[in-house]
Amino acid sequence: MSLVFIPKGTPTPKRTLNKTPVGRSELYKFIHLRALNVTYQQIASLLGRSTVIWSLAAERYGVTQQIKDERAALINNRLEL
């Protein structure tokens, strides 16, 4: 039995957070990705901010209705084809 603690996992590098406010182009991309049911983890990796920021973004920036409208438009366009 060893008295020295040896971690078994590989250390993950710390993410540097982008502290600037979310821009319009990022919100536009976020709305389209959420309309397609892309997960917050995938959005975070695509847009480069943390998962927490994107999970709170819909309520914080008031885009929940836009996401619903975009999703409905995508469904209606698909049904018309």
Per-residue CA distances from 79 to 35, 74, 76 (Å): 16, 9, 5
Q: What is the CA radius of gyration of the chain?
A: 18
Average pLDDT value over all residues in the chain: 85
Distance CA 73, CA 13 (A): 40
> pLDDT tens, 10-59?
776 666 566 788 889 999 999 999 999 999 999 999 998 888 889 998 88
How high is the pLDDT of residue 10? Answer: 75
Sorted by where each begins, the domain ranges of the chain are: 24-80
